[in-house]
Structure formats: C-alpha cells, structure tokens
Amino acid sequence: MQCNKFARKIISYVVSIFILILIATFIYASPILPIVTQNIEEKGDGLIASNYASDWTKKQNDATVIELFTSQSCSSCPRAEALLRNLSQESNTLTFEFHVDYWNDFSDIFAGTWKDPFSSNEATLRQEKYNITLRDSERMYTPQAIIDGSFETSGANRPKIEKAIVNAIEKRKQSGNVAIIPLISSNGELNITLNKISPSKDAKLLLLRFFKRRETIVKSGENKGKKLASYNIVSHWSFLKKWNSKVLTFKTHIPALLQEESCAVIMQDTKTLEIYGAGLCQKQELI
C-alpha cells in the first residue's frame, strides 16, 4: 500500500514537471507572442565599422587572416562574432565569417530550431578540413577561429586569438609574406598582382565573395530574440584554377559584385592550409 502511494506521488511529480515544460514552451516559443530583441553591441555606427572592415586602404599588405566558423543557431557564437567585429577594426587583420550548417537541425526545447540564412555545407567542409589538418580530428565546434590557416582556438577567447595572431605574424615572416593586390571592375573583371612568386608549389589563389554587413533578428532557436550584426560574411569561395604559382599577374572574370558585396584574394597552401598572403579587392574604374 505504501509502495502504491509512493508510486502515485512519483507519477504526479513527473506529470507536473511535464505540464510546466509544456507551459514554458508555449510562452517562450509561441509565434503569437511578441519577440523582445536583444542588441549584440556594435561599436559606434555599424555601417562605418563594417566599411572599415572591408576597406583595403585601412589594411596592411601583410594583415593576418582570421576565419570565424560560426552559426546563428549557436548560443555561444554571438559573443565571438562581436569579438570578430572588434578585431576587424585593426589594420593588421582581415576577418571573415563562415557560417556552418550543422546547427540548423538543432532544436532548443523551448525555442525550437533556427536555420542560419548564411549557412552552407561548403563552410562546414572547410572547417572540417581545418580540424583534420590542425587537430587531427573530424570533430568540429563553434565558435572556432582559424588564424592564417595555421592556428586554431575558440572564437570567443580573445587572449588566445591575440597570441595566435602574434605566432601567425612570425610564421608569415619566416615563409615570406606575399602582398596581393586584387583590382575588380564593375563588370567583374579581376586583375591580380603579386609582389613575389608563391613560396610553395602547393599554393593556390582563393577568391572569397562576402557581404560587408548583415543584420538579422533571430526568431527562434537558441538565440531567439537577439539582433545579430555580422561583418564580412563569406557567401562563396573558389580556387582560381588557371593561376600559375610562378606568375606575378593574373586576369580572370567573375560575376559582377552586388552593391553590398566585396571580395578578397588569399594565397593558401592546399596541403598544409597555411596562408601566405591576402588582399581585399580594390574597385577599378572601367576605361
């Protein structure tokens, strides 16, 4: 008899917890309720700051490349994106966001799922290749920062990122920095000039297209209610297959950039993934 009473209490307790979860889920995730936005702080005017991040005149020709692998569906990523925005204002860094797709199916118990509009499987595959090469692991995490293709750390850990930047600068000096000047015309003609030949036969030129700034109000998922601002979101990238590593000038044609787009060219070793140089595209007027 006492066991039956105890069992009934346990069942009652479990049912009560289940009902509370259902109520909380409805209150938090119901689409009929207003969404309270939370601002992830931008320094000053976001448009000015994002233009600075993509302006070649503000950057050194030996700037360190920082790639952040992130997702709008990851609760710890907004802090890393805010840090990247901060680092993008430095003259010795070129920063880019790569949005992975493996968070898109994650379902928060209260807020449901959110599909990152900038996510792609290509970004996931790029991150996987970095982890296999740098960590000897196929396991990936976000936010993850890759510095000059040679060092990795948490994208939210500023001291470790800054230490990695110092190490990358030293490594670039040893391999010999390659200054890259990409000139892009309004019709998509791309002229690339290098100050020296590639230090490796395995080096290739990688073209990145990116949105200079995007703002998103996340309506579900772990970041529900947050207003996320991102700079230099990579939308497409590809190796320039016809480039010969022994030439200093190269001309090709790409689809014309949109008004809110820009591009960059990176020299990267396809085996070690080390980056030897990078440059933001400069607009060239048609004659």
Same domain, 162 and 258: yes
Please list, in sequence order, all residues whose beta carbon lies within 8 angstroms of the beta carbon of residue 257, skipping any fewer than 6 positions away.
Answer: 184, 188, 209, 263, 281
**For residues 116-144, average pLDDT:** 98
**Same domain assignment for residues 11 and 152:** no
Instruction: Please tell me the predicted confidence (pLDDT) of residue 245.
Output: 83
What secondary structure letter does DSSP report for 149? T
Neighbours of 144 (CB within 10 A): 23
Instruction: State the pLDDT at residue 26.
Output: 41
The 3-state DSSP class for residue 242 equals coil
The whole-number average pLDDT for the span 34-40 is 43
CB distance 273 to 134 below 8 Å: yes
225-229 average pLDDT score? 95
- Tell me the angle at which helices 77-87 and 158-175 cross, rounded to the nearest 10 degrees: 50
Dihedral, 271, 61, 41, 226 alpha carbons, nearest 10: -30
Residue with tokens 């499987």: 121
Question: Which two three-digit tokens encode residue 17?
Answer: 């917890």
Q: Are residues 156 and 197 in the same domain?
A: yes
Domain count, the chain: 2
- 60-92 pLDDT, tens digit per residue, is 999 999 999 999 999 999 999 999 999 999 999
- Does one domain contain both 57 and 3? no
Kindly list the strands in the beta sheet with 189-194, ordered across the sheet, starting from the edge strand earlier in the chain.
249-253, 189-194, 180-185, 282-284
201 & 234 share domain: yes
In tens, the pLDDT along 91-104 reads 999 999 999 999 99
Burial of 191 (0-12, 13-18, 19+ CB in 10 A): middle
Q: Which element (helix H / strand E) includes 257?
A: none
* Mean pLDDT, the chain, whole residue set: 88
4 and 48 co-located in one domain:
no
- What is the residue whose two structure tokens read 């069992």? 7
One-letter amino acid of 180: I
Question: Higher-confidence residue: 246 or 263?
Answer: 263
110-122 b/e (C-beta count within 10 Å ≥ 16 → b): bbbebebebbbeb
Domain that holds residue 269: 34-284
Mean per-residue pLDDT, 15-35: 44
Residues 14 and 57 in one domain: no
Contact criterion met (CB below 8 Å) for 117 and 230 = no
Q: Which of 194, 215, 216, 213 is nearest to 267 (CA)?
A: 194
CATH for 109: 3.40.30.10
Residues 14, 48, single domain; the answer is: no
Do 91 and 21 sit in the same domain of this protein? no
